[in-house]
Structure 1
Amino acid sequence: MNNFLFVAAENDALYNCKAGGMGDVVRDVPRQIASRGDKAHVVVPSYGRLHQQGTLKTTLTFNLRSTTYIAELYEVNPKKNFDNIHYYVIHHPEIEAGDIAHIYHNDPTEPFYTDAIKYFIFCTAVAEAIKNEAFGKIDIVHMHDWHTSLLLFLKKFHVGYRVLEKARFVYSIHNLAIQGIRPFEDNYSSVKNWFPDIPYDTESLKDYRYSDCINLMAVGIRYADAVHTVSPSYKEDILNASNPPEFIGGEGLEEDLQKADNEGRLIGILNGSNYKNIRTAEKGKIYLITINAIFKWLQEESKKYKADFLAHTGEKIAKYLVEPPEFICSSVARLTEQKFYFFKRSPDAFVEILKKLKKVNGSFILLGTGAPDYEELFRKISYEHENFIFINGQSEDVIDAIYLESNLYFMPSLFEPCGISQMLAMRNGNPCLVHHTGGLKDTVSHLKTGFSFNGATYEEKVKNMLEVFDLALKIYSKENEKWIKIQNNAKKMRFTWEKSVDEYYKLLYSINQ
């Protein structure tokens, strides 16, 4: 039996511990591993809340800032129990919940300032737990994104954690654009402040653009035994330099990625989707479910502008209870540049889409929270266009209903490491309209399982996006047989975790099953 440890910032196997697709991966991969008879331990930060119903397993004592730190390791109950999986959180008062999904902090004036601090503490506590065999003797440590790569820093440079060298370390990249860059020194949230006694090599840790800073994403790429991208096409994309907005590639780390690829350490494996025991919504209840969610949010909301907008959205939805639209186009995503750059830069193009929908008695439903300027843009458009329903909140029930009731799922990501939303939409038989990039290339086939657009320039991409949207509406309205075939093809697609984890064992974990 192999003993795995998954280390991540989020885990959707636990309640209220998800901000994005990483949470789905950290939920599903351990379940696959456990089903094969191996043992999986999954550890995330407590964020001051997730430990409260847990069982204290041990205390962890370690040194940071020339000070003794004591953290607590709790075993916690998941949403569903599985044999061979144990779930943990690490609690320390300085590992606080952020304003993004009660996980990450948004530090606009000094990016990663607060998050770096909490993940420095978290990773050192995890290293101490591995050293003390709190999870037993670990064979494979699977880390996710920059929040966890400090484990490799400790493994390489900290004499107290040489024991980490006994395990194989795998590093998954979920979003290369978010790199966890912090100063080496002269800052409270710096490497020198938190690890004053560790003799580290700045040359091997530095960011290429800011040589006085560590790049924690780069640390994962440079020091892991295997580096994993969550789709094959995204792996190919990131080996090339970015040329935004036409092309998003290696984001300044392409040389590190090329080196990892040449050494056989960079591997692209498509994420899977869950097709068993899935949450299902009740058909025909999307507007009722949304109104219930809005009433709940209104009771919690302290910001007047947000409460006013929720009431405005509720009013719009109420009309649909009596006269529902005939066509629903939808998106569910974090409101970020990655997901909605096309709409932010060209709001007139989005308005054009709303006008096209109005002609077929259609509406656009967008659910998400995120960057304030994106929220503000979509609130403004919602006030101006009656067939745009902007659900500015997070609700699993509403999301499930959206995937069930939509006719077309829209995913115009500027770049996409893999994407889970298109898989969930296709699972429900919804064709997707996507930008032909990254993992979307690997999952959506134009005019077979959905629709895709591309272009050599930004202007060409926007023009093609609108033309392909027209094409989708035309096929839906006038070529019913063709639309049903695309729907059926989408529903038949299977991106299974069984297949993905087969490749994990062989290519990432170097284990023969």
Structure 2
Amino acid sequence: MGNSNNKTILFAASEAFPFAKSGGLADVMHSLPKALSKEYRTSVIIPLYQFIDKKKYGISSLGENTHVIMGKNDYFIELYGCQYEGVDYYFVYSPSLSDRPFMYGPPEEGYEDNAHRFALFCQAIIQLLKQKHFDLLHLNDWQSAMSALFVKEESSIDTKVVYTIHNMAYQGIFNKDTLDQLGLHHDYFTPERLEFYGDINFMKSGIAYADGITTVSPSYCGEILSPEFGNGLDGFLQFHSSKLKGILNGLDDDHFSPQKDMLLEKRYGPKKLKDKYINKKLYFRSIGFNDPEKPLFIFIGRFTWQKGIDILVDALNEMAQMPISISILGEGDLKYRQKLAKVALKHKNISLFFGYDESVSHKMYAAADFLLMPSLFEPCGLNQMIAMKYGAIPIVHGVGGLKDTVSPLEKFDAKADIGYGIVSKKKSAEALATSVQKAVSLFDDKKKLNRIILHNMNVDFSSRKSAERYSELYTELLQNSP
């Protein structure tokens, strides 16, 4: 794999691009192990969902079958594997985990047995660690967090554990009875361990038992220690803050580059910015818009309160009356889909795509002049970085990773290694409409507009930076090994 280090890292997550993706976690589980594979022997383990195309990616059984007992039940587990872009991928097959049409459940709700499904996934990770030595296990979000506890229970495993919090809003909270169903001793049902207001909390396992904890941006790392962003775990995180660091996520330069992007009709870069306009004209033609001279504003993401979808919905009517075009791609709560559809029916300059389509999203970034990202909180966010690489200026709230990657236009410094956009401190529909009006004025000032676009396209948002920071953390933890 081209690395000079024999240290082995196993990443564990519920999704990884290109096999299974619902959000930014999947992108990071592709880009970070890939970036680190130059220095370490990296592997990734995820569930083998039934929709994953085994033939397309050359995924085959490793012939390693086992059984796991949780509570009173015996579960069959089979490991599959493949290699993709220099990284070894493991896939966990078990009927109750894998044989479902969705990763987590239908769009409106999670599966009732997700505690069992992902505890089983965590037990499968332990089985792999027993069969094959890894120096470090890097867990991500609540779905793999119980592995931290399971590792500490296994005296035969001497693997160091890092736990990354991608989003505090999703903690894996389940009924107390889940302890018995998973075969866990009630000693774990304490505030110092898994107990959370009478329930059990999978994320607490990662925080309590990992050797190192990270969040996906420096600003979010500070924010989650406060009640506003800590989602009930701010005090618990403060207690464990000595092992907490914020490391900004990055992009895979090969996947998110308008110069290399095979999904685009016309590739372009900072030196061929005029070719971006060709993508815009083609995109307008594909969605039935007929005035590419107007600025295009896009929104790509989940329709959830976190992403500020309420703010966007409330601002859309006013925005649609401006001389702009708006294109929205996403999936999520039915109530938001209905509200968006209702507004879009009134205005010919709004296009809607429900669902997620990787190809469409790339075409939207290439066509866009501005990205709408009014998140109420944002642990890191990749969309703003992708937009800037593709020459679209982000319109954001100054929170979390948005604060770390997008600086207000008023502070523009051509020498600074940070992107620039329209940043609002207020979180309201009125503030968003005002920001869009500012963007329209900026669009008319082509000299200033192009200066900002070119600067943003040249900022280094690559995963190489986060890989360097993680390498420092891994080295520190592994040096402290007994």
Q: Residues of 1 paired with 2:206 and 2:214: CA distance?
A: 10
> Which residue does the alignment assign to 1:373?
335
The offset of 1:440, in angstroms, is 0.2
Deviations 1:446-505 (A, max 9, x none): 1132111013xx5xx44332222211111212x222111111221121122222111111
Please name the residue that 2:175 is paired with: 183
Secondary structure of the 1:95 match is helix
Decide whether aligned partners of structure 1 residues 512 and 148 sit closer, same or farther in structure 2, where only a CA change above 3 A counts: closer
| Residue equivalent to 2:95 | 93
Structure 1: runs of 5 or more not aligned: 243-248, 293-316
TM-score by length of 1: 0.81
Change (3 A) 1:62 1:287: farther
Which residue does the alignment assign to 1:355? 321
Q: 1:23 matched to which residue of 2?
A: 26
Q: Which amino acid aligns with 1:282?
A: E
Aligned partner letter, 1:373: K
Equivalent pair of 2:164/2:216 in contact (CA under 8 Å): yes
1:366-418 deviation per Cα after TM superposition (whole angstroms, max 9, x unaligned):
10111221112112111122111111122211111111110111110110000
Q: 2:138 aligns with which of 138, 142, 153?
A: 142
CA distance in 2, matches of 1:250, 1:86: 34
CA distance in 1, matches of 2:366, 2:54: 34
Distance 1:52 1:472, change over 3 A: closer
The aligned runs of 1:270-281 (5 Å cut-off) are: 270-276=248-254, 278=257, 279-280=261-262, 281=264
1:239 to 225, 229, 238: 225
Q: How does 1:304-319 map to 2 (within 5 A)?
A: 317-318=287-288
CA distance in 2: counterparts of 1:259 and 1:87, whole angstroms? 35
Partner residue in 1 for 2:273 = none
2:21 maps to amino acid: K
In 1, are the aligned partners of 2:316 and 2:343 still within 8 Å (CA)? no
For structure 2, the residue ranges without an aligned partner over 5 or more in a row are 1-5, 267-277, 413-419
Match of 1:471 in 2: 438
Higher share in strand: 2
Alpha-carbon contact 2:48-2:91 (below 8 Å) kept = yes
In the aligned structure 1, how far is the partner of 2:464 from the partner of 2:226? Answer: 30
Deviation at 1:285, TM superposition (A): 5.1
The residue that corresponds to 1:9 in the other structure is: 14
Residues 459-498 of structure 1 correspond to what in structure 2 (within 5 A)? 461-477=428-444, 479-498=445-464
Aligned residues: 444
Partner of 1:442: 404
State the AA in 2 paired with 1:218.
Answer: K
Partner in structure 2 of residue 302 of structure 1 = none
Shift of 1:508: 4.7
- Cα–Cα, structure 1 residues 77 and 512, in superposed 2: closer, same or farther, change >3 Å? closer
Aligned residue for 1:214? 200
Q: Are the equivalent residues in 2 in contact too, given 1:5–1:42 (CA < 8 A)?
A: yes
Alignment map for 1:96-245 (pairs within 5 Å): 96=98, 102-106=102-106, 113-133=112-132, 137-156=133-152, 158=153, 161-164=154-157, 166-185=158-177, 190-195=178-183, 198=185, 200-203=187-190, 204-208=192-196, 210-211=197-198, 213-242=199-228
Give the C-alpha shift of residue 507 in structure 1: 2.6
Change beyond 3 A, Cα 1:70–1:286: farther
Query: In the aligned structure 2, how far is the partner of 1:175 from the partner of 1:98?
Result: 24
Aligned to 2:348: 386
Residue 47 (structure 1) shift: 1.6
Q: Partner amino acid for 2:422?
A: F
Measured in 1, the distance between the counterparts of 2:107 and 2:369 equals 38
Give CA deviations for 1:172-191 in whole Å, capped at 9, x if unaligned.
Answer: 11111011101121xxxx12
Shift of the alpha carbon at 1:207? 4.2
Cα deviations by residue, 1:133-177 (Å, 9 ceiling, x for unpaired):
2xxx11000000000011122234x4xx3223x111000111110
User: Are the aligned partners of 1:454 and 1:465 in contact in 2 as well (CA < 8 Å)?
Assistant: no
State the one-letter code of the partner of 2:329: L
Contact 2:9 2:135 (C-alpha < 8 Å) held by counterparts? yes
Deviation digits for residues 262-318 of structure 1, max 9, x if unmatched?
xx20000111112236434124356867998xxxxxxxxxxxxxxxxxxxxxxxx23
Asked whether the 8 Å contact 1:476–1:483 carries over to 2, the reply is: yes
Secondary structure, counterpart of 1:271 in structure 2: coil
CA distance in structure 2 between the aligned counterparts of 1:411 and 1:129, rounded to whole angstroms:
40
- In structure 2, relative to structure 1, the CA distance for the partners of 1:496 and 1:107 (3 Å cut) is closer
- Name the aligned partner's letter for residue 118 of structure 1: R
Provide the TM-score with structure 2 as the length reference: 0.86
Deviation, 1:323, is: 4.8
Conserved in 2, the CA contact under 8 Å of 1:412 and 1:433? Answer: yes
Distance 1:341 1:330, change over 3 A: closer
Instruction: Give the secondary structure class of the aligned counterpart of 1:149.
Output: helix
| Cα distance in 2 between the residues matched to 1:337 and 1:392 | 17
- Residue type matched to 1:490 in 2? N
Please state how far the C-alpha of 1:423 moved relative to its aligned partner. Answer: 0.5
After superposing the two structures, state which structure 1 stretch, 370-379 or 432-441, moved more. 370-379
2:44 aligns with: 42
Match of 1:454 in 2: 425
**CA–CA separation in structure 1 for the residues paired with 2:226 and 2:320:** 35
The AA in structure 2 aligned to 1:121 is L
Aligned mates of 1:50, 1:291 — CA distance in 2: 32
